[in-house]
Amino acid sequence: MNTFSASGTDVPSAQVPDYPMARAARCPFDPPPDLHILQDQAPISRVRLWDGSTPWLVTRYDDVRALLADPRISSESDRPHYPHLSPAQKERRRQSRTFINMDDPEHARLRRMVTASFSIRQVEALRPAIEQIVDGLIDTMLAGPRPVDLVEAFALPVPSLVICELLGVPYADHDFFQANSRILVRRTSTVEQARVATQQLLDYLDRQIGVKLAHPADDVLSTLAARVRAGELSRHQAASMGMLLLTAGHETTANMIALGTLALLQNPDQLDRLRGSADPKVVASAVEELLRHLTIVHSGRRRVAREDIEVGGVTIRAGEGVVLANDVANRDPEAFPDPDELDVDRNPRHHVAFGFGVHQCLGQPLARVELQVVYSTLYRRIPTLKLAVDLDEIPFKHDGNVYGVYELPVTW
């Protein structure tokens, strides 16, 4: 028996590795080396979380994909043994559980209330507005001092401006909701910090829903307000969904912009290939490859088995927690040849960076268009863009539920 695997619910602590694991110091773009060892030697095995619980960790691409699509797997975060990401996340889910932590049919009923705004057609219609936002922010950067923090000046404002427009939230309030959102995605935040941040965001979104009830507009919060008026949603549910969309719309794309830029600056041949091509297919492929390679949602998808599930020679018992490690799954050599190479021509559309199954990211069409516009504009308009500090001075979000960089000082 190898040292990683264990079965049954009584698990001696010495044999079970802690999760999440640490990345190698000199490989900030790669998943933790211990995850690769597990993927190779014990692809479904137990890990220990922050609260001492020992859910199963699944690391191979095929298993991750199969389990995420398995109807015997539950996303309900109020089930016993649900493997919460952090104390802060557990508290947030307690106060504000949305469809991402529900199963069908309620999940489908609530998700479908907002899917219209994220259809391919709707999101494509936003492309000119996104291009304008991106160009405007680049104009401002070029006219301002150097070096500049790309996160603050560009990576965060792009998705923030877009999601505010889409939801109908005043961008002027961005300091408030970004600060609270930041607390919720840090693993090190306390329960009390998370409680206050969640409450503040819910109160804020509730006020915005109130505004839309009185003055409906053409935006997502007004759609939710109409559902409230029709008696299909409570005010609390509407505020929770608004909060989900607002926070999810920020932290993900912003981190992909900054971390993606850093990864491309470290791979100049790939940056040249992307910058040198006017072909939208190359740009689209580069977006998919950076999504796969970086997999910023690096803390695993969290689930609970509803029934016994036989998978990969292991029996996951009904009621046990399961963590699907999509970051290392996206580096599985069985699914992606030379998985650690960043290759913008790869077009790995079958990656699981957005998850898989019925909970696959709702905002993915929007994220794709935002990233396509950014990656095809920023490096062309600032062709000499470079880091203003050494790579080892960049603060990475090792403590984040979503990976990325806290700052990215750049110059040109």
Partner 1 sequence: MKVIVDQNKCVASGQCVLSAPEVFDQREEDGIVVLRAENPPEGLADDVRQAVILCPAQAIWLEEQEGEQ
Compute the least distance from the CB of residue 68 to partner 1, in Å: 8
Compute the least distance from the CB of residue 342 to partner 1, in Å: 22
Compute the least distance from the CB of residue 397 to partner 1, in Å: 26
Residues of this chain that interact with partner 1 (CB under 8 A) are 68-69, 108, 111-112, 115-116, 118-123, 349-350, 354-362, 364-365
CA–CA dist 228, 233 (Å, integer)? 5
Residue 265: what residue type? L
Compute the least distance from the CB of residue 386 to partner 1, in Å: 33
**Tally of CA atoms within 13 A in the half-sphere of 138 that contains its CB:** 19
CA–CA dist 41, 348 (Å, integer)? 25
For residues 234, 239, 242, 248, the Cα torsion angle rounded to the nearest 10 degrees is -120
The helix/strand/coil state of 61 is: helix
Compute the least distance from the CB of residue 205 to partner 1, in Å: 22
Which is nearer to partner 1, 300 or 404 (by Cβ)? 300
Which is nearer to partner 1, 4 or 99 (by Cβ)? 99
Contact 293, 259 (CB under 8 A): no
Which is nearer to partner 1, 108 or 389 (by Cβ)? 108
Which is nearer to partner 1, 267 or 376 (by Cβ)? 376
How do 321-324 and 56-58 pair as beta strands? parallel
Which is nearer to partner 1, 356 or 403 (by Cβ)? 356
Structure token pair of residue 153? 């000046």
Helix, strand, coil percentages (3-state) for the chain, rounded to 5, are: 50, 10, 40
Compute the least distance from the CB of residue 334 to partner 1, in Å: 15
Structure token pair of residue 132? 């304008």
Minimal CA–CA distance to 85: which of 157, 177, 187?
Answer: 187
Which is nearer to partner 1, 209 or 362 (by Cβ)? 362
Minimal CA–CA distance to 68: which of 348, 314, 351?
Answer: 351
Minimal CA–CA distance to 352: which of 295, 404, 305?
Answer: 295
CA–CA dist 118, 200 (Å, integer)? 26
Which is nearer to partner 1, 63 or 91 (by Cβ)? 63
CA–CA dist 368, 349 (Å, integer)? 12
Q: Which residues contact 62 (CB under 8 A, 6 or more apart)?
A: 332, 334, 335
Compute the least distance from the CB of residue 224 to partner 1, in Å: 14
Which is nearer to partner 1, 222 or 267 (by Cβ)? 222
Structure token pair of residue 160? 């923030």
Which is nearer to partner 1, 30 or 219 (by Cβ)? 219
Which is nearer to partner 1, 166 or 258 (by Cβ)? 166
Compute the least distance from the CB of residue 111 to partner 1, in Å: 7
Q: Which residues contact 325 (CB under 8 A, 6 or more apart)?
A: 31, 35, 57, 58, 59, 64, 300
Residue-by-residue DSSP string for 281-298: HHHHHHHHHHHHHH-S-T
Compute the least distance from the CB of residue 303 to partner 1, in Å: 14
Compute the least distance from the CB of residue 222 to partner 1, in Å: 15
